């Protein structure tokens, strides 16, 4: 067990006052992030999210809920499915439902996981923190962003280049078109300009 994963899990689980230690759930989640078909939505992505959250623990209203939602946000990742977030949220509800966690906390975690669909702008402070962490890769250093782009293409290697390029351009442009990519002041200051440069460069490389 990697210590950063261990520390994060224990902090979130006990912060929710969940019964037991939840290690069976934790290990099942880690196994999912290690699935062979994943290239970006992997243990690396989870570790990057949790490491960044560790620097922002004072930002959310309910940090334990945000941290646990990060664990679950890509728990289910089936290529070609439009239901990954809803299935991940359902897993979170099921896992937490038998542990004594408050019903309203489970509902908020469900909403947090669903916010990572990125279909709409995050509404609550906690959704903003979680979504900003999930999108932090867009503002990564150019070398890491280039690796991320390769990883995403690797996950969708089965998709023809023209189709992949069109869909990828549309997604990246949707982020670039936002008045602000990041909602939390700390990440906006740190990542906004670099994310816009990364996105513009990627869209141009895709022919946009």
Angle between helix 185-205 and helix 142-155 axes, rounded to 10 deg: 60
CB atoms within 10 A of CB 145: 20
pTM here is 0.96
Where along the chain do its domains lie? 1-121, 135-208
Tens-of-pLDDT digits for all 208 residues of the chain? 455 799 999 999 999 999 999 999 999 999 999 999 999 999 999 999 999 999 999 999 999 999 999 999 999 999 989 999 999 999 999 999 989 999 999 999 999 999 999 999 999 999 999 999 999 999 999 999 999 999 999 999 999 999 999 999 999 999 999 999 999 999 999 999 999 999 999 999 998 5
Short-list 129, 138, 120, CA closest to 184 = 129
């Amino acid at each position: 067990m990697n210590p950063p994963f261990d520390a994060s899990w224990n902090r979130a689980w006990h912060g929710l006052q969940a019964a037991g230690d939840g290690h069976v759930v934790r290990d099942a989640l880690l196994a999912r992030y290690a699935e062979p078909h994943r290239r970006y939505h992997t243990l690396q992505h989870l570790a990057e999210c949790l490491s960044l959250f560790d620097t922002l623990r004072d930002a959310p209203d309910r940090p334990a809920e945000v941290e646990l939602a990060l664990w679950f946000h890509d728990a289910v990742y089936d290529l070609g499915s439009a239901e990954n977030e809803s299935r991940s949220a359902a897993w979170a509800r099921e896992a937490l439902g038998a542990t004594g966690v408050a019903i309203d906390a489970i509902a908020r975690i469900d909403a947090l996981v669903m916010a990572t669909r990125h279909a709409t702008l995050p509404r609550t402070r906690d959704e903003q923190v979680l979504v900003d962490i999930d999108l932090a890769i867009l503002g990564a250093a150019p070398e890491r962003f280039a690796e991320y782009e390769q990883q995403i293409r690797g996950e969708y290697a089965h998709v023809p280049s023209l189709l992949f390029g069109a869909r990828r351009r549309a997604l990246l442009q949707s982020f670039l078109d936002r008045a602000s990519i990041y909602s939390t002041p700390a990440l906006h200051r740190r990542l906004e300009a670099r994310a816009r440069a990364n996105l513009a460069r990627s869209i141009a490389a895709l022919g946009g």
